[in-house]
A and B are shown apart, each in its own frame.
Chain A
Amino acid sequence: KAGVTQTPRYLIKTRGQQVTLSCSPISGHRSVSWYQQTPGQGLQFLFEYFSETQRNKGNFPGRFSGRQFSNSRSEMNVSTLELGDSALYLCASSLFPGGEETQYFGPGTRLLVL
């Protein structure tokens, strides 16, 4: 089976712009979670989607949003980018939601905001 894929792998944006990141889960996996990783804060949970519904959301401002499509692919969007949004954004898929399943991580999208 192909692993979790994320596009793009690298992205450079300027403050105030918006960005959309994409995640394709392992075939058959219906749950997709998104995480932000920074040197200062480490890994932090952004949100989780299952069957096109957002089930959980982390402590991030409303500028961070996401969605999931009927084929389980997911996108996350960050509007009005700030310098502090520079990070590695990881998605992970699993068969079912809830954090009690093995998570399979994608390679990540490295976002740099200038």
Chain B
Amino acid sequence: KNEVEQSPQNLTAQEGEFITINCSYSVGISALHWLQQHPGGGIVSLFMLSSGKKKHGRLIATINIQEKHSSLHITASHPRDSAVYICAVTPNSGGSNYKLTFGKGTLLTVNP
């Protein structure tokens, strides 16, 4: 079992819909990252959070440390949101011995 599981693997939505992508992890963490990867490979860091909720524009990320779960929400989705969304965690190994661990990603397609 992967340490980081994302669902769904694939998601197709109509423009304007509210979208939720989920991430569950099995280890103690010190931080969780949401990344966006467009076709061609470039990766952009959307959020880094260790508790609570963060919002940037139409994107909202939440994390529940006790339940080891995070969600990424996109309000009023747009075709330009089409991308792979990747969840990654920084395991709480203590000291400097960390290895950023990634989920397999969620492919989001937003149709006009």
**B48 on the A face (CB < 8 A):** yes
Residue of A42, A45, A100 near B50 (CB, 8 A) is A100
1/0 per residue B78-103: CB within 8 Å of A? 00000000101010000011111111
Q: Which of A43, A45, A98 has the most CB of B within 10 A?
A: A43
Complex CA gap A56/B95 in Å reads 11
Complex CA gap A92/B50 in Å reads 20
Contact A56–B97 (Cβ < 8 Å): yes
**B42 on the A face (CB < 8 A):** yes
Contact A43–B86 (Cβ < 8 Å): yes
**A67 on the B face (CB < 8 A):** no
Q: Is the interface of B mostly helix, strand, loop or mixed?
A: strand
Task: Tally A-B pairs: CB < 8 A.
Answer: 58
Interface stretch, picked from A12-20, A22-30, A76-84, A104-112, is A104-112
Contact B42–A102 (Cβ < 8 Å): no
Chain A residues closer than 8 Å to B86, beta-carbon distance: 42-43
Interface size class of B (residues with CB under 8 A): 20 to 34
**B30 on the A face (CB < 8 A):** yes
Contact B99–A42 (Cβ < 8 Å): no
**A68 on the B face (CB < 8 A):** no
Q: Is the interface of A mostly helix, strand, loop or mixed?
A: strand
Complex CA gap A88/B68 in Å reads 29
Contact B30–A100 (Cβ < 8 Å): yes
Contact A103–B33 (Cβ < 8 Å): yes
Contact B105–A42 (Cβ < 8 Å): yes
Extra contacts besides A90-B43, A103-B33 (18): CB < 8 Å: A37-B41, A43-B86, A43-B88, A45-B99, A45-B101, A55-B96, A56-B98, A90-B41, A98-B98, A100-B31, A100-B90, A103-B100, A105-B42, A105-B45, A107-B41, A108-B41, A108-B42, A108-B43
Can you list 11 A-B pairs with a CB-CB distance of less than 8 A? Answer: A42-B103, A43-B88, A58-B99, A90-B41, A98-B90, A99-B30, A102-B48, A105-B35, A107-B42, A108-B41, A110-B41
